[in-house]
Chains A and B, each alone.
Chain A
Amino acid sequence: MDLVLRTIFVFFLILLITRAVGRRELSTMEPFDLILLVVIGDLVQQGVTQSDYSLTGATMVIVTVALLTVATAWLSFRFRRVRPLLEGEPVILVADGRILERNLRRQRMTVDELGAEARLAQIGSLADVRYAVLETSGKVSFLTGSS
Chain B
Amino acid sequence: MTSLFTDVAAVPESRGATAGLWARRAVITIFAVVAALGLLDVFGQGTTQTTAGTPAAVVHLTAPAAVRGGLFFQSRIEIRALRALEHPRLVLDEGWVEGMQVNSIEPAPVGEANRDGRVVLSYDRVDAGERLVVRLQFEVNPTNVGHRSYGLELDDADTRVAAIHRQITVFP
State the A residues within 8 Å of B (CB): 1-5, 51-57, 59-60, 63-64, 66-67, 70
Contact = CB atoms under 8 A, between A and B. Distances in A.
B68 A56 contact: yes
B70 interface: yes
A76 to B, nearest CB: 16
B43 A60 contact: yes
Given A1-B46, A67-B31, A70-B28, A52 B68 contact: yes
Contact of A3 (B38, B72, B142): B38
Contacts, number: 61
A51 B43 CA distance: 15
B4 to A, nearest CB: 21
B157 interface: no
Given A1-B40, A1-B46, A54 B68 contact: yes
A54 B171 contact: yes
Interface in B20-48: 28, 31-32, 34-35, 38-41, 43-46
A57 B68 CA distance: 7
Contact of A51 (B34, B38, B40, B139): B139
Given A53-B142, A54-B171, A54-B172, A60 B38 contact: yes
